[in-house]
Structure 1
């Protein structure tokens, strides 16, 4: 008699959903890292440009170059603001997929726990049946020997 888990197909489906959720979560983490790295690079670029402008101002800088740097910094700040929104969206997406992954893990664990419990019950019933057969066999042997 072989053990068959009655919810095996559901368990496999839940495991597949969990694997898909893990894949989507990993993709969202990569996307977040890319966008966050882009933001970091832009902030570093702005900081370097401002430092360069301060050094140039100390050495004497024409009004035309000051305007040019200010325009460039202004455009850079707009880009930074845009990328900050992208980072926030990527973080929210990553958190959402993380929640879905947690939910999938919980579902799989529920079915695995149920499978373990039903398997333990199956083993107990198997043991009980085996003991019952042994008792019957012993009784038959006893009666065949004459009940000494």
Structure 2
């Protein structure tokens, strides 16, 4: 007797959703890191420019550009947090279905064992009766 989980397709769907959510989260982390690196680069550039007034005049970074990168980092962090929340939710759903599968398999195993025990009892009774007792 082969075990067949009745929610297998749903479990696979939830696992697929979780995997997609993980990929989206990882992508958002990467985008956040890139934006943060760009902000860091620009802040480093600004520090260098502040050291030399003449250099600052030649290649100065505008306040507007600095705000742009700060906004970008904030936006990317927000996206990353949303993706992380979605990933957490998908993981919880997936774990619920995994737990249901485990419980159903445990029930299946107990029922299968009970059937085997009954069959063994029937065989024992048949042998006993066949031997003429």
Q: Which residue of 1 aligns with 2:122?
A: 136
Query: What SS does the corresponding residue of 1:6 show, helix, strand or coil?
Result: coil
Unaligned runs of 5+ in 2: none
Q: Which residue of 2 aligns with 1:11?
A: 11
1:115-136 CA-to-partner distances (Å, cap 9, x unmatched) read 1111111111111100001111
Q: Is the 8 A contact 2:49 2:60 kept in 1?
A: no
TM-score normalised to structure 2 length: 0.93
**Partners of 1:71 and 1:44 in 2: CA distance:** 13
Q: Which residue of 2 aligns with 1:41?
A: 41
Structure exhibiting the larger radius of gyration computed from Cα positions: 1
Q: Aligned residue pairs: how many?
A: 133
Larger relative contact order (Cα-Cα within 8 Å, sequence gap ≥ 6)? 1
Structure 1 residue 43, shift from structure 2 partner: 0.5
Return the match for 1:123 from 104, 109, 114: 109
Return the match for 2:60 from 72, 82, 95: 72
Q: Which residue of 2 aligns with 1:61?
A: none
